[in-house]
Each structure stands twice: as C-alpha cells, then as structure tokens.
Structure 1
C-alpha cells in the first residue's frame, strides 16, 4: 500500500514575547492510502497543531519553520494561495474539534452546503447543489428533507454527521478528524465512528484521527502514533499500543483506562505534569515522569527508531513484556 501523506521532520513554532516555543519538534510519519492513522496524547502535546499544518491553516503567531509535508508526492508547503484553495476540501478536509459549533447558526444546512460547492465550482445552480447535498445527508443517515433546517434544530450527534457530510462533499483523499466526538455520549461516539469507517471502506479515503482517548482509538485505527510534548514517541499497530507498548508513556496512557472485564483494579495515573515547552530539558522529555528512566535518559535525547516486528519507538529502555502479563507487576519489573 503506497503512502498518501509523508510528513518529514516537521517543526511548528509559536512566536511569543518570551521567544519561540516549538509546539511540534522534528515529527515524521506517513499515512497510507485507505489507512486510518491515530494520533494520541495529553492536551497540548501537538496533535491539533499537526492537523492544522497538514492543511496549512496556521496563522501568526504560529508558523511552520522546518520540514516538508508531501501529499501525493507534492510538498504542500510550496503551494500558492490558489493551489491551497483548490487543495483544501477537495484533496484534504477536516472535521474540527469544535465541530458542533462550526455550523453557521443563521444559515440553513442547504445554504452552507452550497457555499462549499460554489467555492469549488462543482455546481451551476442551487437546485443542483441541493440534490448533491441531499445525497450526502443520506450517506450519513440524515433524512434529506432536513436539508432546509437550521443547525439548532439538530441534536449534537446529527450536527456532527452534517459536518462529516460537508467534509466529504468533494470526495477528499484524506479526512482529518480532530477530536470529533469529545462532546458526545459514548453511544453516539460509536455510531459516528462506525459510520466514518463504513464511508472509508466505501469511498477509499484515508483518515487522520486525533484524540486523547486511547481506548476509543484502538478500536478505530490501523496504526497509532503517541505524541508527548511536541515529539512523536511511538508508532505501532493499534493492538500493539495497548497489548505490548514499548514506550513508558504509551504504557501509562493505556493503564489510565479501567478494564471492562475481570476484577476491579486500582488505576495508576502518570505522575507529574506535562512539560513546559518554554523550558525543554536535555535528554528525554518524559524522563522526570518515567518509572524506567536512567541517567542516560536525562542527558541523551532518544531518537525514533524502527523495530520491524513492533513499530517505531523513541526510548533508551523500551518495554518488552506483554501488557497483559504485567497487570499486577511492580514498576521495577517492567523493563
């Protein structure tokens, strides 16, 4: 399976009165055609910053300072304004983190669909636009007659599906979903993700799915990347992330969710607080919160390296025991 997106050594900075703050630092990954890639991590780790970079949506004080983003072999960082206008929504579209607030409250759904079609010159009349919009609403299981309603007349889950329908209006090759189910209950979350998966199978687009909920991501994604303080620390098949995590931070994320079966167990959170990006230490950024850190971790920064059997990891002392075998093991036995 060939790559649709190839991100190489991406760096994104925010200019502040105290100087530059690097929110995404030397991140590289790929998304294959038809693949669902997840990005997980704590709030502020750089997930949404990467999503905005893939569509060139950053505005000052943010700037992409280094790297390249190849889409079908073309670097979008070299695109002109006109090339970007054609690229957005037609090749790559996005369901934003505040998707339920993205709809204009004073315009009907029909009018908002037509704005998309008109901007990309895909319909010649409003009647033609309405017919295409009705087809898209049916795809996400919304009755076509609801096209003439206003956003406040829809439930949260229905508004979310409307936004997804709009994101798919021009049949993009890549759909970026930035925490699209955060404000929804768990039943509706599952319905939304199941529908996106069915559409992905039908239309063959790729998905970049961003969330802090690792348990939700494992069910939905083919591969998962774990972000910590602007760095990509592990990339592996989704089942490996929970079953056999290599990075201690991945282990901590997986161990922060309760199991649905078996005996009740005490939850073990990740100690400490996320890193202050104004004061990045030498060595591993996770060292001060890591149960497995050594002196080397505090002086030498680990580089992302590939284990063909288990994926990529940036850790001097990757874990090597099956997660299911160490549910009750003390931390000293995990290396």
Structure 2
C-alpha cells in the first residue's frame, strides 16, 4: 500500500523565557492512501501539536525544530508560501477541535463557501460557487436551501457537518480531524463518524483522527498510535491494541473506560500526573507512573522497536512479556507450608 504522508523524526518546541520546551519529540509514523490513522493520549501529550505540524499552522512561540513531513514525496516543511497555500486545502485539509465554533457568526454559510472557492480560484463566479456549495451540503445530508442561513440557525451536529463539507471542498487527499466530536453528544458523534466513513469510502481520502477517547477510536480507525508526553509510545492495528497492548500506558488508557458488555469491573485509573516537560526524568518517561517499572526503566530511555510488521512499541520489556513473566512466576511459586496445631483437650 502506498504511503500518502510520511512523518520522520518530528520535533516541535515551544520557546519560553526559561528555554525551549519540547512538546513533540522524535515522532515518526506514516498514513497510507485510504487509511484512517488515530492518535490517542491524555491532554497535553502532543496530539494537536502533531496535527498542526502536518498543516504547517504553528505560530510563535511554537517551532518545528527537526524532522520531515513528506506528502506524496514532497517535504511540507520546505514548501514556499504558494505551494503551502495550495497544499493546505487541495492536498490536506483540517477539521479543528470544537469545529462547530469555527464558522464566522456574521456571515452566511454560502458566503463562507464562496470565500474558500474564491481564494483558491476554484470557481469563476458566485453562481457556480452556490451550485458547488449546495452539492457539498447534500453530501453531508444538509438540505441545500439551508445554504443562505447563518451558523446560529444550525444545531451543533449540523454545524459540524458544514465544517466537514468545507474541509472536503477542494477534494483533499488527507483530512486531519482534531477531536471533531468532543462537544457533541454520543448519538450525534456516531452519526458524524458514520458520515465521515461513508465519505472516505466514496472519495478515497486518508484521515488522521485525533481524540482522547480510545474506545471511539477503536471502532473508527485502521491503526492507532498512542502518545505520551510528546513521544509516540505504541503503534498497532486498532483491533489488537486493546486486546494485546505492548505498552503499560496503552493498558492504562484501555482500563480507563468501561466495557458495554460483560460483568461489572472496578475501574482503575493511571496513578500519578502527566509529566512536566520542563523536568523530563532520566530513562522512560512513563516510569514514575508505571506499575511494571524496573531499574533499567529509570536509567535508560527505551527506543522504538518493531514487534511485528505493523506493530511498534517503546518499552524495554513490552507488556505481554511482563505479564507472562509475572504469571509464570506466580505458577512456579512454591506452595506455603501450613502447620496445624491441635489444642490439647483434657478428657
């Protein structure tokens, strides 16, 4: 399968008065044509920073300091302004976090479509823009007569679909979605994701889907990457990542939401707090919160290791090996000796 976008050694720093803070550290992954890749992790782990990097949308104090972002073989980080302008809508487009609030409340939906088409020389006149905008609204199941309404006249889910229609206006090859369903209820979330999946199958674009909700991501994505404190700690097929996690942090995320079927289970959170990026400890970044931590973890930083053709993990021991080792030790543990003392009974 051909790679559409290939991210290599991406590093993003935030420049502060106390020096640089590295928010994304040596992150590498790729997205194939027609594939949905998910990025999951707790708030502040670097997911959105990665998304903004793919679109070259960072502004000071953010700085892409190292790495490559190859889109169809061309490095996005070396593009000139005109190339970048074309890439951002025709090559890749983005649905931002809280996307339904991205619409201009003072302009009709029709005008906002016209603004996109005019900026990229897609149509020659306003009438052509209206026809194309109506087609896009129909694609996301919004009646074309709503085109001349203002954003406040739409529900949250409808505004979300309008933004998705705008993101697809120039038929991009990649759609970056940064927590697009966070502000929506669970029913509307499912409707939006089903519609996006239908559009992906119809038009063949790829998707980078970012969320903190791992259960939602498992249903929607082909592969999932797990980020922790700026690092990509695991990458695996979505059907395997919860059943057989190879990183303790992935296991912790999986245990943080309840299953819909089966017996009731006690929920267990991940102990401790997210890492302070101004004070990164020696060794593994997850070691202070890991229940499987060993001396090596506190001394040596683990490197990404390929476990299978489509699985990567950055853990010295890998969770499956640790769990199997614990179970084996438990099985081989000698049985305790019990001494039963009988009380003397005077007859």
Distance 1:28 1:79 in 2: 20
Equivalence for 1:227: 227
Q: Structure 1, residues 8-42: CA drift from partner, whole Å, max 9, x if none? A: 00000000111100000000000000000000000
* Alignment TM-score, normalising by the size of structure 2: 0.92
Whether the 8 Å CA contact 1:12–1:49 is kept in 2: the answer is yes
Give the Å deviation of 1:244.
0.6
Give the Å deviation of 1:121.
0.1
Give the Å deviation of 1:297.
0.4
Instruction: Name the SS of the counterpart of 2:215 in structure 1.
Output: helix
Q: How many residues align structurally? A: 328
Instruction: Name the SS of the counterpart of 1:281 in structure 2.
Output: coil
Distance 2:32 2:192 in 1: 22
Equivalence for 2:9: 9
Give the Å deviation of 1:322.
12
Whether the 8 Å CA contact 2:292–2:322 is kept in 1: the answer is no
Equivalence for 2:83: 83
Equivalence for 2:48: 48
Equivalence for 1:108: 108
Distance 2:301 2:201 in 1: 40
Instruction: Name the SS of the counterpart of 2:90 in structure 1.
Output: coil
Distance 1:297 1:121 in 2: 55
Q: Structure 1, residues 271-316: CA drift from partner, whole Å, max 9, x if none? A: 0000000001111000000011101001100011111166000001
Matches within 5 A, 1:153-302: 153-302=153-302
Whether the 8 Å CA contact 1:25–1:230 is kept in 2: the answer is yes
Whether the 8 Å CA contact 1:113–1:133 is kept in 2: the answer is yes
* Alignment TM-score, normalising by the size of structure 1: 0.96
Give the Å deviation of 1:167.
0.1
Q: Structure 1, residues 97-128: CA drift from partner, whole Å, max 9, x if none? A: 02011000000000000000001001011110
Whether the 8 Å CA contact 2:270–2:289 is kept in 1: the answer is yes
Distance 2:122 2:100 in 1: 25
Distance 1:124 1:322 in 2: 63
Distance 2:11 2:265 in 1: 40
Instruction: Name the SS of the counterpart of 1:320 in structure 2.
Output: helix
Distance 2:310 2:81 in 1: 40
Equivalence for 2:24: 24
Whether the 8 Å CA contact 1:244–1:321 is kept in 2: the answer is no
Q: Structure 1, residues 35-78: CA drift from partner, whole Å, max 9, x if none? A: 00000000000000000000100000000000010000000110
Equivalence for 2:338: none
Distance 1:250 1:125 in 2: 51
Q: Which runs of at least 4 in structure 1 moved beyond 3 Å after TM superposition? A: none
Equivalence for 2:336: none
Q: Structure 1, residues 142-166: CA drift from partner, whole Å, max 9, x if none? A: 0000000000000000000000000
Equivalence for 2:334: none
Distance 1:311 1:161 in 2: 33
Instruction: Name the SS of the counterpart of 1:5 in structure 2.
Output: strand
Q: In terms of mean alpha carbon deviation, does 258-267 or 154-163 score higher?
A: 258-267
Instruction: Name the SS of the counterpart of 2:318 in structure 1.
Output: coil
Matches within 5 A, 1:130-149: 130-149=130-149
Equivalence for 1:93: 93
Q: Structure 1, residues 214-259: CA drift from partner, whole Å, max 9, x if none? A: 0000000000000000000000000111111000000000010101
Whether the 8 Å CA contact 2:98–2:181 is kept in 1: the answer is no
Whether the 8 Å CA contact 1:240–1:310 is kept in 2: the answer is no
